[in-house]
């Protein structure tokens, strides 16, 4: 009797009851997990593809195991010569003349591949200058704006409209920023000069010179300011949220000890918000370095046979020179040069170096953020 009663006893009343909601919960969890893994798979596939195609261009089996020529020379036209025995020669324009003279009538054919020879030193230097200049301008303007909106501005309809305008600015296409930079910085920005340009919109005499609104031409300065405006919305929004996250007690304690509002922000608020601000700068670096349309109008050239400091002004004119940049160089190789094994090699090698460069800049920001977080804990 006892065994029979035990076998027919009801289920545990405290056990979790199964329902159709558990099925939907499991389905939702599976969909979210699948979406996450899909993103990881696509990202990994891109990195692996670039590594497989680009690494052989950068690394080699013989010492020094790195293709230093590709990293230390300027881009140039690649000449492909073939003799009647089928032997192929790859050389630069100067070497082409020497080889043709040596081969004489034994030369079968010659082909030229624009931008597929030499290296990418010019685009690397130009990209670094543009990104560094962009981050200096964007961080100064972005953090300044965030401090005002968070610490000084009184809540109201006007401030809300300003915040809405900043958010809308992040949705503007990059080509529009390029046209804005062309009109604002290349053609209109003020310059102190004794001889104003004919196209100057306005000339204000200063006694010793003139303030001429004639623009900065296509230069690193124009490109850096244009890229800064591209990433300003991200930096302003993220910086303001980081400043708001600092406990209000920090401000009240500092003010109670007699500090001014600015001393409180500088000593008690900004240091603790800086790690989060650097996070936004990482996102800004990635976007600024990869933009092509803005620099096409303001800074970049498809080809240049000199580095920025090799111009007439030397190192003093680095930021007034037009430059090559890796995004525009890659675009030129991919879209304007007939696709072949030589242009593809230069293209993937440039992409590989570009990816390493962006990751290095981002990693530097991550390490700096980690150091600041360890120093300012609350």
Whether residues 203 and 107 share a domain: the answer is: no
Give yes or no for residue 3 having a pLDDT over 60.
no
CB 243 within 8 A of CB 152: no
- The answer to whether residue 6 is domain-embedded is no
HSE, side-chain direction, 13 A CA sphere, residue 216? 23
Whether residues 111 and 190 share a domain: the answer is: no
- The answer to whether residue 2 is domain-embedded is no
Number of domains in the chain: 3
Give yes or no for residue 128 having a pLDDT over 80.
yes
Whether residues 199 and 339 share a domain: the answer is: yes
**Nearest alpha carbon to residue 66 among 57, 54, 75:** 57
Q: Residue 191, SS3?
A: strand
- 11 band by pLDDT with thresholds 50, 70 and 90: low
CATH number at residue 131: 1.10.3720.10
Q: Give pairs for 51-58: CB < 8 Å, separation 24+.
A: 51/352, 53/344, 53/348, 53/351, 53/352, 54/348, 54/349, 54/350, 54/351, 54/352, 54/353, 54/355, 55/352, 57/345, 57/346, 57/348, 57/349, 57/352, 58/349, 58/352, 58/353
Residues spanned by the domain of 166:
121-375
Instruction: Give alpha helix (H) positions in 188-339.
Output: 220-245, 248-256, 261-264, 270-290, 293-298, 326-335
pTM above 0.95? no
Could you say which of 30, 49, 66 is where a domain stops? 66
Whether residues 158 and 29 share a domain: the answer is: no
Q: Which residues contact 79 (CB under 8 A, 6 or more apart)?
A: 89, 90, 91, 92, 93, 95, 96, 110, 111, 112, 113, 117
- The answer to whether residue 270 is domain-embedded is yes
Q: The tokens of 192 are what?
A: 């102190």
Whether residues 278 and 158 share a domain: the answer is: yes
| pLDDT value for 5 | 46
Whether residues 182 and 87 share a domain: the answer is: no
Whether residues 48 and 144 share a domain: the answer is: no
Which of 163-177, 224-238, 251-265, 298-312 bottoms out in mean pLDDT, i.e. has the lowest? 298-312
Question: Which tops the pLDDT comparison, 61 or 324?
Answer: 324
Q: Whole-angstrom Cα distance, residue 155 to residue 289?
A: 35
Whether residues 106 and 166 share a domain: the answer is: no
Q: Say how many Å lie between the first and final Cα of the chain, rounded.
A: 67
Whether residues 212 and 295 share a domain: the answer is: yes
Whether residues 188 and 318 share a domain: the answer is: yes
Element (H, E) at 192: strand 190-193
- The answer to whether residue 8 is domain-embedded is no
- Give the DSSP letter of residue 59: B
Give yes or no for residue 351 having a pLDDT over 90.
yes
- The answer to whether residue 5 is domain-embedded is no
Give yes or no for residue 8 having a pLDDT over 60.
no
Q: What's the mean per-residue pLDDT of the chain?
A: 85
- The answer to whether residue 326 is domain-embedded is yes
- The answer to whether residue 7 is domain-embedded is no
- The answer to whether residue 58 is domain-embedded is yes
Average pLDDT for residues 236-255, to the nearest whole number?
Answer: 90
- Length of the chain equals 378
Whether residues 181 and 243 share a domain: the answer is: yes
Whether residues 24 and 148 share a domain: the answer is: no
Strands 190-193 and 210-213: antiparallel
CB 77 within 8 A of CB 333: no
Per 3-state DSSP, the chain is made up of helix, strand and coil in percentages (nearest 5) of: 65, 10, 25
Give yes or no for residue 362 having a pLDDT over 80.
no
Could you say which of 53, 88, 118 is where a domain stops? 118
Q: Whole-angstrom Cα distance, residue 55 to residue 348?
A: 8
Could you say which of 88, 118, 148 is where a domain stops? 118
């Amino acid at each position: 009797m006892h065994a029979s009663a035990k076998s027919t006893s009801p289920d545990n009343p405290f056990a979790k009851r199964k329902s159709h909601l558990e099925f939907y919960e499991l389905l939702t969890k599976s969909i979210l997990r699948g979406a996450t893994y899909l993103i990881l798979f696509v990202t990994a596939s891109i990195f692996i593809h670039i590594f497989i195609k680009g690494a052989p261009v950068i690394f080699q089996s013989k010492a020094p195991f790195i293709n230093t020529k590709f990293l230390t020379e300027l881009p140039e036209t690649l000449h492909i010569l073939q003799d009647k025995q089928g032997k192929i020669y790859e050389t630069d324009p100067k070497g082409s003349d020497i080889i043709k003279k040596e081969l004489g009538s034994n030369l079968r054919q010659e082909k030229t591949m624009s931008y597929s020879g030499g290296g990418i030193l010019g685009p690397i230097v130009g990209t670094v200058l543009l990104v560094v200049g962009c981050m200096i301008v964007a961080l100064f303007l972005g953090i300044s704006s965030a401090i005002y909106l968070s610490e000084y501005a009184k809540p109201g309809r006007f401030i809300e409209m300003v915040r809405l305008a900043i958010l809308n600015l992040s949705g503007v296409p990059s080509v529009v920023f390029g046209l804005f930079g062309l009109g604002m910085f290349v053609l209109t920005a003020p310059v102190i000069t004794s001889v104003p340009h004919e196209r100057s919109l306005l000339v204000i005499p200063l006694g010793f010179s003139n303030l001429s609104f004639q623009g900065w031409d296509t230069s690193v300065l124009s490109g850096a300011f244009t890229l800064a405006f591209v990433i300003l919305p991200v930096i302003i929004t993220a910086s303001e949220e980081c400043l708001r996250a600092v406990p209000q007690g920090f401000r009240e304690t500092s003010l109670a000890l007699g500090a001014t509002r600015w001393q409180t922000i500088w000593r008690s608020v900004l240091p603790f918000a800086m790690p989060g601000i650097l996070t936004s700068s990482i996102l800004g670096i990635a976007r600024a370095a990869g933009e092509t349309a803005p620099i096409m109008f303001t800074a970049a050239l498809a080809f240049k046979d000199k580095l920025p400091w090799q111009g007439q002004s030397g190192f003093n004119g680095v930021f007034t020179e037009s430059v090559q940049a890796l995004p525009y160089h890659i675009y030129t190789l991919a879209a304007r040069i007939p696709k072949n094994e030589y242009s593809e090699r230069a293209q993937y090698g440039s992409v590989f170096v570009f990816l390493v460069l962006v990751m290095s800049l981002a990693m530097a920001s991550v390490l700096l953020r980690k150091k600041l977080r360890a120093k300012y804990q609350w």
